[in-house]
Amino acid sequence: MEKIFYVDDGTLSECLVHAKKSDIKNISELDMDNVVQVVTILFKMVLKLDFIDKDSELFEYGDSIQAMKLMNLIEKYLGVNVTISDIFLNPSAKTLASFLINKKDNFYIARVCDFLLNEGGK
């Protein structure tokens, strides 16, 4: 399933360009696993890894510089503002995804996850 997340340069940007307003669903309709998959992809991008377990902590492989890069990618691709403290308190893809879902400004998470998981592979 991960093949649908990547474009030629390894980013998610092209998927966002092609996302339409009709692709947007309420975040409560998303399966937690879908959001975890998207956050795991962002972890892999930051850490330059081919694989990382959803329960592995960012700081097992990186440091505060990677945390800042992750913070920026979350803002860029998901449109959600997070702080370094948020990442330190939620250091795995699984815990960070849960945190992001519970944030009030999670509109873009629904948009991106829905598009990537339902439209991106077609």
Return all residues near 14 (Cβ < 8 A) that are at least 6 apart: 7, 8
For the chain, domain boundaries: 2-119
Rounded mean pLDDT for each run of 10 residues along the chain, 122 residues in total: 37 46 47 80 91 92 94 83 94 93 63 57 40
Q: Which CATH number is 2-119 given?
A: 1.10.1200.10
Give the span between the Cα atoms of 52 and 48, in whole angstroms: 10
The whole-number pLDDT of residue 107 equals 56
